[in-house]
Amino acid sequence: MSESVKHSPDQINQQAAEWFTLMQSAGVSTEDRQRLNDWLAEHPEHQHAYNQIERVWQTLGDISNTAEASALRRSVAPLSARLMSFFKAPAAMIRAVIPVPKFAMGFVSACVVAGLILLPRPSELITTHYSTEAGEIRTITLADNSEITLSAKSQISTRISDIQRSVNLISGEAFFDIAKDRQKPFYVTVNNVAVEVVGTQFNVQKIRDAVSVAVLEGVVNVFGEETVDRLVAAVPDVVLTAGQKVVKASGQAFDAVIDVPSSDLGAWRMGRLIYTDVSLTDVVTDAGRYFDGKILLQSPELADVKVTMTLRTDQVGQLPDMLAQTLPLEVHAVSDNIILLKN
């Protein structure tokens, strides 16, 4: 699917649909994601086509729940079930069914039929999953034109419909640039924290069991409750404005709100990691997402030592030596991609 020959727009759209379905299936491998990245990098039209497929999938939930649509769903229920089982199939099975582009036309036709047949009700949210590899930073444009920049080794799931906009940060970190819609607030949930905005720019980070929320622009409501359905009439625990940050560890109350320089907010998007009075174990955990391997701290007594430092994301491999210059640590390289820190 990543041939270098020139393809027509129709062929590119067909290949984009193929790739998107593979990414939504179970058991997608690192090699699959790398091949997709290679294909996207071949030509700007590839990225554009893939983005269009994502938007179509995300907006299927916006189709009206008419009587005709309900009747159509009932009449083709068996076919719908078969198509949905295909979408949920393991990646290896999908690859076996559509091994080369020449099958793309029939496959894309099936995708179109599935979209027309299923006609999701407005209340049926469509969940889409995104993830990144070590050192990878990816920008995702949602159906409402909101943008999410996903940091390295991070995972999110999005649920977009005509009645709700929500994202669950499963791991890692993300920067959100949310399109304004006062009728439909945007929610981000992670661990035991939920964020509510109308339209703003903010950063959410998960390190171990702690969640931090920092605001670059606008106002953000933060709750110590992760269930969106319970937030309709809830009063926020913390209200953040531009230049403010709050942290909450699992099972604990929110820390005091602190001020953060705007240049530090989401600096990782520009390749800079900034740590101010952060525990050593959190620095190693967070920076390790930009390292294609493992950096392990094996000195529990140093875990809570506070560290203040700045480094580039392409310097993370040098982090152990940097720390050893100022802390009582020894660096032990077990292999090229496993580094131990101990005193």
Q: Which domains does the chain have, with CATH numbers?
A: 9-118 (no CATH), 126-259 (2.60.120.1440), 271-342 (3.55.50.30)
| pLDDT value of position 25 | 61
Give the DSSP H or E segment for 320: helix 319-326
pLDDT (tens place) for every residue of the chain, 343 residues total: 444 456 677 778 778 888 877 776 656 677 787 888 888 888 888 888 887 777 666 554 444 444 444 554 455 455 445 444 544 455 455 445 444 444 444 444 444 444 544 444 444 567 889 999 999 999 999 988 899 999 999 999 998 877 789 999 999 999 999 999 888 899 999 988 999 998 899 999 999 889 999 999 999 999 986 555 565 557 889 999 999 999 999 889 999 999 999 889 889 999 999 999 999 999 999 999 999 888 888 888 888 899 999 999 999 989 988 988 888 888 888 877 778 788 7
DSSP 292: S
- Tell the burial category of 229 from Cβ atoms under 10 Å away from its Cβ (0-12, 13-18, 19+): exposed
| pLDDT value of position 1 | 46
Q: Which residues of 264-288 are buried (b: 16+ CB within 10 A; e: fewer)?
A: bbbbbeeeebbbeebbbbbbbebbb
Q: Distance of CA 115 to CAs 41, 111, 125, 167, 332, Å?
A: 28, 6, 14, 23, 54
| pLDDT value of position 80 | 46
| pLDDT value of position 124 | 56
Give the DSSP H or E segment for 295: strand 294-297
Dihedral pair phi/psi, residue 187, rounded to 5°: -115, 145
Q: Distance of CA 138 to CAs 32, 130, 149, 151, 263, Å?
A: 16, 9, 6, 7, 20
Q: Please give the structure tokens belonging to residue 312.
A: 């580039």
The helix/strand/coil state of 105 is helix
The position carrying tokens 């560890």 is: 249
Neighbour order of strands in the sheet with 338-342: 294-297, 338-342, 330-335
Q: What is the DSSP string of 138-172?
A: EEEE-TTS-EEEE-TT-EEEEEE-SS-EEEEEEEE
Angle at 28 between CA 26 and CA 33, to 5 degrees: 150
The whole model's pTM is what?
0.66
| pLDDT value of position 26 | 55
| pLDDT value of position 135 | 93
What is the biggest distance separating any 2 CA atoms in the chain, rounded to whole angstroms? 71
> Which phi-psi region, left, alpha or beta, contains residue 310 (left: φ > 0; alpha: ψ -120 to 50)?
beta
Q: Which residues of 38-63 are buried (b: 16+ CB within 10 A; e: fewer)?
A: ebbeeeeebeebbbebbeebbbbbeb
The helix/strand/coil state of 101 is helix
Q: What is the DSSP string of 222-291?
A: EES---GGG-TTPPPSEEEETTEEEEEETTSPBPPPEE--TTTTTGGGGTEEEEEEEEHHHHHHHHGGGS
Dihedral pair phi/psi, residue 330, rounded to 5°: -120, 145
Name 290's Cβ contacts closer than 8 Å, sequence gap at least 6.
Answer: 134, 135, 152, 153, 273, 313, 314, 316
Beta bridge partners of 251: none
The residue type found at 206 is: K
Smallest CA-to-CA distance from 242 within 197, 278, 207 is with 197
